[in-house]
């Protein structure tokens, strides 16, 4: 299974991204082999619809689950339509991966209580 973790850096020890669409990087991990690769968020700096653009990118990578601090409603819908599971969490990518593998993350479904936009305060967080 391939999972994506939205991060603010390019390593498994990087802090998670507080908002999916504004993540600096996505770490895509094959949970069966343990192999992982970092991808820059192609939607970072987009003037609008960053979350949707990022969700389409993630879907195109063949990911089955994504973990981030928060998701906007349009990004969440795009991911859900693509059949991608959504998980909310807050720690490093390494801890998130271990938590996912152990079945300790609770799958989230839209609509989410907290909604955020890509304001400057989210950039690089």
pLDDT tens for 5-52 read 999 888 888 887 888 999 999 999 999 999 999 999 999 888 888 999
* Residue indicated by tokens 């802090």: 15
**Tokens, residue 11:** 């390593």
What is the value of pTM for the model shown? 0.74
Domain range summary for the chain, segments of one domain joined by +: 2-42+58-108
Give the integer Cα–Cα distance in Å for 108 and 69. 11
CATH code 3.30.420.130 for 2-42+58-108: yes
User: C-alpha distances in angstroms, 21 versus 25, 31, 61, 102?
Assistant: 10, 23, 16, 26
User: What percent of the chain stands above pLDDT 70?
Assistant: 83
């Amino acid at each position: 299974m391939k999972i994506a973790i939205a991060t603010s850096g390019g390593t498994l020890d990087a802090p998670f991204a507080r908002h999916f669409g504004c993540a600096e990087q996505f770490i895509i991990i094959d949970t069966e082999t343990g192999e992982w690769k970092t991808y820059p968020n192609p939607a970072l700096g987009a003037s609008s619809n960053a979350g949707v653009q990022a969700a389409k990118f993630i879907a195109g990578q063949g990911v089955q689950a994504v973990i981030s601090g928060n998701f906007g409603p349009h990004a969440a819908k795009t991911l859900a339509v693509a059949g991608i599971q959504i998980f909310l969490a807050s720690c490093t990518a390494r801890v998130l991966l271990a938590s996912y593998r152990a079945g300790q993350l609770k799958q989230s479904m839209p609509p989410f209580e907290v909604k955020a936009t890509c304001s400057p305060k989210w950039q690089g967080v």
